[in-house]
Amino acid sequence: MSGALVLREQRGSTTILTMNRPERRNALNPALIAELTGEMIAAGEDARCRAVILTGAGNTFCAGMDMEHLAKVAEQREAEHLAEANALVRLMMTIRELPKPVIAVVNGAAIAGGTGLATICDFTLAAPEAKFGFTEVRIGFVPAIVSSALLRMAGEKQARELLLTGKIFSSEEALRLGLITWIVNPEQLMDEALALAGSLALNCPSSMAGVKRLLASFEQHQMEEEMRISVLANAAQRQHPDFKEGIRAFLMKRKPVWQRA
């Protein structure tokens, strides 16, 4: 086991990383993002590891960014917002470019940044009752960092619908959109992920690393530019009065009062 925020378990050639904030529905904050990034990098460098499984403690995969943390940092300067956005980009790109296959086990809700985290993995296995959604527009935020990968997976028309409506959608719809790989019964979810990891371990490690490197290289420069723009959009919206109002309204469980666009 590693630090309190990310639990690491080694099962043969498979490294299981579990986001461990069940009391906060595994919501992302700077400490969790940093620790998870570090554990992913360590797994990528570990000769014992042939595949990584990512999941969440309790009955939630990841509820997105921690709203209480966002409320505390709403008055941050632009440089601090940029640093936090860049840290999330680094986590997402670490998973995408890791030389080992990464399997997401979505045992419950994966919302906002949690949807991005689950779907950027190489394989995404989800329980039938799992829920997804890019809900940022509901709280005065812009789903900037997740949008680049979503465009590639679902296409522009579907991405616009998901990002602009902020709707919650089911595992079945996520499968139809190409955002997840399989729907698996909850009691079999981890066993199926371990079986998949075991089958991947039979493949040539350098070949799988080469495949991931090749796929990443096809759109490397374009994605780097998109992420740069996304970071700026993320930081800019965090300084908008609507962002602060959205966070306050969410925490107070009331309807937000938006400014005119």
- Stated pTM of the model: 0.94
Residue with tokens 């959109």: 177
| Domain range summary for the chain, segments of one domain joined by + | 6-186
Query: What whole-number distance in Å separates Cα of residue 9 and Cα of residue 49?
Result: 11
Catalytic residues, by residue number, are 136
Cβ atoms within 10 Å of 93's Cβ, excluding its own: 18
Segment 216-225, tens digit of pLDDT: 998 888 888 9
Could you tell me if residue 64 is left (phi over 0), alpha (psi between -120 and 50 degrees) or otherwise beta? Answer: left
In CATH terms, the fold of domain 6-186 is: 2-enoyl-CoA Hydratase; Chain A, domain 1 (3.90.226)
Query: What whole-number distance in Å separates Cα of residue 88 and Cα of residue 136?
Result: 15
| Candidate ranges 63-77, 113-127, 240-254; pick with highest mean pLDDT | 113-127
- Return the pLDDT at 3: 56
Query: Residue 167: pLDDT band by 50, 70, 90 thresholds?
Result: very high
Query: What whole-number distance in Å separates Cα of residue 67 and Cα of residue 106?
Result: 21
Query: What whole-number distance in Å separates Cα of residue 101 and Cα of residue 49?
Result: 10
Estimate to the nearest angstrom the gap between the alpha carbon of 169 and the chain centroid. Answer: 16
Minimal CA–CA distance to 68: which of 99, 38, 25? Answer: 25
25 neighbors 58 (Cβ within 8 angstroms): yes
214 neighbors 231 (Cβ within 8 angstroms): no
Q: Is the pLDDT of residue 75 over 90?
A: no
